Amino acid sequence: MSPQNTACFVFIQQGRVFEAKQRNLYASRMTNKDRTPTPLAALFKQRRKQRKWSQTLIAEHVRSLLGPEQTFSQQTYAAFESGETKHTKFAIQIAQALGISMEEVAAVSSASPSQSDSTQSMLLTPIEVWDDDTPLDEDEVEVPLLKEVELSAGSGRTAIQEVTRSKLRFGRRTLRRMGVEPENAVCATVTGNSMEPVLPDGSTVGVDKGKTTVKDGDMYVLRHGDHLRVKLLYRLPRGGVRLRSFNRDEHPDEEYPEIALVEEEITIIGRVFWYSVLR
Percentage of the chain surpassing pLDDT 90? 32
Q: Which domains does the chain have, with CATH numbers?
A: 39-110 (1.10.260.40), 140-276 (2.10.109.10)
End-to-end CA distance of the chain: 67
pLDDT at res. 212: 95
Find the mean pLDDT for residues 165-189.
Answer: 84
Q: 210-214 long-range contacts, Cβ below 8 Å, gap at least 24?
A: 210/180, 210/181, 210/184, 210/270, 211/270, 211/271, 212/268, 212/269, 212/270, 212/271, 214/241, 214/268
pLDDT at res. 80: 93
Q: Where are the alpha helices (DSSP H) in the chain?
A: 3-31, 39-51, 55-66, 74-82, 91-98, 102-109, 113-123, 172-177, 258-263
Q: What is the dihedral of CA 33, 121, 271, 93, to 10 degrees?
A: -40
Residue 94: exposure state from Cβ atoms within 10 A (0-12, 13-18, ≥19):
buried
Where residue 71 falls among pLDDT bands split at 50, 70, 90?
confident
Q: Is pLDDT at 91 greater than 50 in this prediction?
A: yes
Write out pLDDT tens, residues 99-134.
887 777 777 766 554 444 444 444 444 445 545 566
Full DSSP string of 95-126 = HHHHT--HHHHHHHHTTSHHHHHHHHHHH---
pLDDT at res. 171: 84
Mean per-residue pLDDT over the chain, rounded: 77
Write out pLDDT tens, residues 186-242.
999 888 999 887 788 888 889 999 999 998 888 999 999 988 999 999 999 989 999
pLDDT at res. 27: 45
Least trusted range by pLDDT, from 55-69, 173-187, 235-249 = 55-69
89 or 237: which leads in pLDDT: 237
Task: Tell me phi and psi for residue 240, to 5 degrees.
Answer: 90, 180
Percentage of the chain surpassing pLDDT 70? 70
Q: Is 152 helix (H, G, I), strand (E, B) or coil?
A: coil
Rounded to whole angstroms, the Cα distance separating 235 from 59 reads 31
The answer to pTM > 0.85 is: no
Q: What is the dihedral of CA 199, 125, 92, 77, to 10 degrees?
A: -140
Rounded to whole angstroms, the Cα distance separating 207 from 212 reads 10
